[in-house]
Structure 1
């Protein structure tokens, strides 16, 4: 049996890989371990940089090799465990759509990450930019519009049903909803509600009482100078 260890920090993009592992485990049985890291400077240690040279989560140790970057991890795991039914093989009619939406999650996440920096990492008002906050929130809404259109007439991103593309996008929404509401996007709202009821999604959430990156459900743009 392959040894699998995921290095993870709650409420970060590594949740995407954790959720996927839980879905595979629920589908076919796949034991794995999680090493949880606080979000901070410990990710810059020489030991961790040997796993992920960018000093970020996730890092996935599997079968004697180490992977980083969530998109790469998603593709690798779906190819390693096709029987879980979460990927699209080369030659599949929906392969291109699957790839597009798996990686579109990073387009959403880059804006959510910029807003996380502005609202949380830059804790002094004078460090923050009102202009950046408004621009990045508006860019998230443009991403929402693209996903809303894709979900028109569909329960999930692919015609075939739930896949790793929904996992990648759903985790991106989990982060971005802290900064840009989806209330004006009924398809996204219904889709995200379906995702959040999945057992694997719930298993990937932070433990009660654990350290949280997001201390609020929603971060309003503060009244600060640009």
Structure 2
């Protein structure tokens, strides 16, 4: 029963974790699309410096998207192996993502001049993105809540798998355990076998034989 529950939790974590990877992949594709448009716009201006750094809005989308893909990969490895280090690393990444999201949301809702906290975007993509969110606030709000809920659910599943542990050979008392696969039984001391029969006496020493012969001669 325990093995079945653990297998279901592993599959569920992989499925939930895939949604995080899909969000990260969508952000990477969106950043690449913006970069292509940016290259076409800058190619029309020969005086534009080619070494000019990538606008921060594209870099932020690209970095966050790659980070989400890395988190998805870590979550899949942790779900497949139930390794303690991978699970701790996965939960640590999710926790950092929660802190980042909480910081951005708190800055937007509590600070009236929150736009000044971000550097100027010469492409205007940041303003377009902001206007799109404002015009579709209800849809974007539910999408954001869904993403946060998926992250929280994935972290909860990782904590449950960490509590269950990787002991997959001790799930039921009805199963026949293989001593070679059970570390606690592998080096168990087995009692020695005893044979019931007539006592066997070893050869007596020569000194004891000489002493008995001397006693018989004195008689």
TM-score per shorter chain, which class? 0.3 to 0.5
Higher strand proportion, which one?
Answer: 1
Task: Determine which structure has more spread, i.e. the larger CA radius of gyration.
Answer: 2
- TM-score, structure 1 length as denominator? 0.34
- TM-score, structure 2 length as denominator? 0.35
Higher helix proportion, which one?
Answer: 2
